[in-house]
Amino acid sequence: MSTLAYPKSGYAWFVVGVLVLASLVSFVDRQVIALLVTPMKADLGINDTQIGSLSSAFALFYAVAGLPLAWMADRFNRRWLIAAGIFTWSLMTCWCGLARGFWTLLIARVGVGVGEATLTPAAHSLIGDYFPREKIPLAVAVFQLSGTLGTGIAFTVGGLIVHYIGTLPPVDAGVFGILKPWQMVFICVGAPGALVMLLMLMVREPQRRSVVQAYAGSSGGAGPLVAFYRRNWRTLLAHHIGFGAVALAGFSFVFWTPTFFHRIHGVALGEAGIWYGLYFLTFATAGTYFGAWVGGRLYLKGRKDWPMRGSLIWAWPMIPLGLLAPIVPWEWLAWVLYAPLMFFINVPFGMSYGALPVIVPNRLRAQVSAVYLMMGSAIGTGLGPILTGAISDNLFPEADGVRYSLMLMMGACAPIWLGLLWYARPHYANNLREAEELELNAAPVN
């Protein structure tokens, strides 16, 4: 067993704070597009399916780039990798504001996806080297909490920016031409990334530790990763696809909710964004934190299947709420139902990411995280918005069709995640026991 001392707790949590800040910026840059659907459609002449494809393009390249970038994170300096990613996604977000057509905007969103793909796998790897095993789930959960906080900030601050900038006339940006208000929003949210990149460069790269040679030998290539998945495929596939189905329903609501309130209940886009952002900052964040807390309690009580057990017990109310909230005829009641809906949708995300580092060897943590992100992004962020938009365009083309699209997505996803997480329970418990035993033979590495 390794005797290498861990970094001081205060500095370790400082690093988590920097990673959280980077994640907040990434989610603002990622999600603000949901507030700009109506003006982009008007200026670029595109439909709901194309709007959804902007999110899908982001997700596809976020997923595809994630695995090679994670391989780099498992072998090279993670601080520099994350800093380069922050620079890339911030620059590409600003480029979204210079887009003159659908294809230019699509390419810029691809760039945002590639840049943001550096963060989560490398962050999970860093956290695994800054904290002892028993504290990793909490640290990872705190980092993942930035996703809900970032989404809430994206909608709240983005809504305020949309509300303010939307009242301004187009701006003459010289060589960049005339910029419409929605284009200026992209530039305003992309520019602060430069400061976060500088802060990331202040973080120290920790010494790697607890490398289990059975999976994480020094040889290159994908061999150790493939071997790990072959041995643990029941747990990992059920985990990835099961939580991915939760994300599929969740991201459908995240992307289309401001448009839903705008189209169905006549709420101005900026106002819808502000209120929805406040909901995310409160109820969604509380759900993610509650999920992490429940998972930690179950783990300490010896429940080796804690991520699946906690999600099954505490996330199921999202199903009736997700079927009811879009169909109620009154705006006030829809907002009332959205509060518990956002809470319960986000409970599983407080456990899903923290479930992986405790069963995965050091040299594979970033790569396994990237595979999960790849599948989760492809299923959730990739398919959710475009499927909802396509259903709205083709099955429910009426003005209120988006409400039925959201209901259909929730109803279709529910049996998938319920069944797979139930199936994964005993397999995950066995993997956790094995990881705890293998750690006794682990050796520190540089």
In a domain, 173, yes or no: yes
Residue 16 lies in a domain: yes
Which is more confidently placed, 120 or 326? Answer: 326
Residues 6+ apart with CB under 8 A from 137: 292, 295, 296, 299, 354, 355, 357, 358
Supply the mean pLDDT for the chain. Answer: 83
Residue 219 lies in a domain: no
| Range of weakest confidence among 162-166, 201-205, 423-427 | 162-166
Residue 446 lies in a domain: no
Q: Which residue has the higher pLDDT, 59 or 230?
A: 230
Total tally of structural domains belonging to the chain: 1
Q: Residue 112's domain spans which residues?
A: 9-201+224-436
Helix 181-190 / helix 78-96 crossing angle, nearest 10 deg: 170
- Greater confidence (409 vs 222) lies with 409
374 with 64: CB under 8 angstroms?
Answer: yes
Q: Does the residue 327 lie in any domain?
A: yes
Instruction: Count CA atoms within 13 Å of residue 11 on its CB side.
Output: 11
218 within a domain of the structure (yes/no): no
pLDDT of residue 189: 85
Q: What angle do CA 109, 110, 116 make, to 5 degrees?
A: 90
In a domain, 212, yes or no: no
Q: What CATH number is attached to the domain comprising 421?
A: 1.20.1250.20
Nearest CA among 20, 32, 298, 15 for reference residue 185: 32
* CB burial readout 138-148, b (16+ within 10 A) else e: bbbbbbbbbbb
Instruction: Report yes or no on 298 lying in a domain.
Output: yes
**Helix/strand/coil percent split, the chain, to 5:** 80, 0, 20
